[in-house]
Amino acid sequence: MRADSALAAVLPAGGVVTEMSQAPFACLSSRVDGGAPGPAYPAKERSNFRRRQRRLAETGALAMTSHRAGEQASLLAARAIEIKRRALKAAGIVSPAVRSCGFETFFRLAAADPRSGLLATAIEIDGQPVAIDLSFLCKSTAFGHVLATEPAMVQKGVGNLLVHHVFATARAAGARTFDLLPPADAYKMHHADATTPVQSAVYPFTARGRLFARAFHGTAIPLARRAMRALAKG
């Protein structure tokens, strides 16, 4: 639950907070200059953006594309999930949510539905996507949900190029801010101007339920997460 949500104003007190986080967001007026990084970035980074584009173009025909919800966006959504899964596996990260078939189904169907507000943005080399972003546009804010980069292209700075391309696409579509969603990872904070507090909470109805919620979320879940990370590394 976000601190700026309508739900936060109506929920009663007494919830057991199980997790606190921050959702970084970018002000696009200072983050975008045409199709390039805006004045919020140092001059060196703006110059590196153009240099990386030139070097990437040397590897093949470079195209930076964007699609509203429709057939092409749906194909890109399926490809994005496939890339994301391989990238997480290569990094030794276990993500049950991304591995779930429902995760792919949701984004594929949303990408095919013009009512969803989904934007599929990609960087392609010789007609093949090497980095894809799936975001949703709602009123004047875009929300970034999936950022997938081919593992072999990470060292070429393609992910960073995609972020700038996504920002430019979102601003052209009418967004004033771009929400990067929690958690506030370092790469997100590099592109952020501020953050919005976000918390997860459980609302037990009994004292016994409250004790269980605190024990389960305070002990059992952290232990399970550590075990999963250890298995992934092993």
CB 22 within 8 A of CB 180: no
Given a cut of 60, whether residue 234 has pLDDT beyond it is no
Kindly report, residue by residue over 162-220, the tens digit of the pLDDT: 999 999 999 999 999 999 999 999 999 999 999 999 988 888 888 888 788 777 776 65
Packing angle of the helix pair 101-112, 71-90 (nearest 10 deg): 150
Evaluate if pTM is beyond 0.95.
Answer: no
* Strand partners of residue 19: 200
Q: State the pLDDT confidence band at 232, using cuts at 50, 70 and 90.
A: low
Reported as type and span, the H/E element at residue 123 is strand 118-125
Q: What does the CA dihedral 179, 185, 190, 196 come to, rounded to 10 degrees? A: 40
What is the percentage of the chain residues whose pLDDT exceeds 90?
Answer: 69
Residue 215 token pair: 């024990």
Q: Which residue segments constitute the domains of the chain, with CATH numbers given?
A: 29-176 (3.40.630.30)
How far is Cα of residue 142 from the mean position of the Cα atoms in its chain?
A: 11
DSSP state of 219: I
3 state SS of 216: helix
- Measured between alpha carbons, how far apart are the two ends of the chain, in Å? 34
Which amino acid would we find at residue 120?
A: A
Give per-residue pLDDT as tens, 98-128.
999 999 999 999 999 999 999 999 999 999 9
